[in-house]
Amino acid sequence: MIFEMHCHTRHGSACSYMTPEQLVAQAVKVGLDGVCITEHDTPWDRHATERLSEHFGILVIGGMEVSTEYGEVLVWGLHEPIFDMQDIHDLRRRVDRAGGVMVAAHPFRGAQSLVRWDPDAGIVPKLDQAVRLPIFKIVDGMEVFNGMAPDWELDLSSAVCDRLPIMGTGGSDAHNVDCVGDCVTVLENRVATEEDFYEEIKAGRYGAEHRLIGRRYPANGAKGPPAKR
């Protein structure tokens, strides 16, 4: 099943240019089986996403993009609004109580200090430093493909995920209809409910695709055994 896991609508994100209906209609048009709406700090009422699911015939799941001291995190399972920057450990406890999941959003956005430029080799990641970011010990997964990320960020995310015991998702971070489905998460199993979806994400039974540039994660079909941390 092909899922868009990261996008914003005008319902809860002032930075977005599409309504929820435009988003889901576009998701259907580009062949997706499911879409997660992840507004900044604003939850979705489950009845509202269920109505969208029924109307458009694909699974619509409400998540949230929450700011923490370790960066932004995509969160599923919480249905109350968030007003301040969250303590990530507290957020983890609340998500666990709700049976939800957490994925590090674009974990290297703005993290140019974690790469260096070599005149011969080009951009060289500081992998040892990058894999030790504390957020990776707290989340269930990390976004390897974010539709707004430049190549060095995609490379760094993929290389880091290779070394971690968590899996990598894809999400376009779409704020307008043209970007919906640029990056997707491909689930191995069919899911019919939000709870099924959380189960598959927790278990890491998925891969990611960057459909704009034809790139997949894991690149060789399977992720290697995680290196010692």
Residues of the shown chain interacting with Zn ion in the complex, contacts defined by CB under 5 A? 65, 72, 105, 173
Q: Are strands 34-40 and 2-4 parallel, antiparallel or unpaired?
A: parallel
Cβ 81 to Zn ion, closest distance in Å?
16
Residue 71 CB, nearest approach to Zn ion (Å): 8
Pairing of strands 206-210, 215-217: antiparallel
Select 72 or 140, whichever has its Cβ closest to Zn ion. Answer: 72
Kindly state the smallest distance separating residue 34's Cβ from Zn ion, in Å. Answer: 17
Strands (E) located in the chain:
2-4, 34-40, 59-68, 71-76, 101-104, 115-118, 122-125, 141-146, 167-171, 183-187, 206-210, 215-217
Taking the least distance from each CB to Zn ion, the nearer of 4 and 173 is 173
Shortest distance, position 15 Cβ to Zn ion, whole Å: 8
Quickly tell me which residue has 């998460």 as its tokens.
185
By beta-carbon proximity to Zn ion, the closer residue of 33 and 72 is: 72
Q: Least distance (Å) from Zn ion to the CB of residue 85? A: 13
The distance of closest approach from Cβ of residue 73 to Zn ion in the complex, given in angstroms and rounded to an integer, is 9
How far, in Å, CA of 168 to CA of 140, rounded? 9
Q: Which is nearer to Zn ion, 48 or 148 (CB)?
A: 148
For 87-139, give the DSSP string: PHHHHHHHHHHHT-EEEESSTTTT-GGGEEEETTTEEEE-HHHHHT-GGGGT-
Please identify, using beta-carbon distances, which residue of 49 and 223 lies nearer to Zn ion.
49
Location of structure tokens 């430049």 = 150
CB nearer Zn ion, residue 7 or residue 163:
7
3-state secondary structure of 64: strand
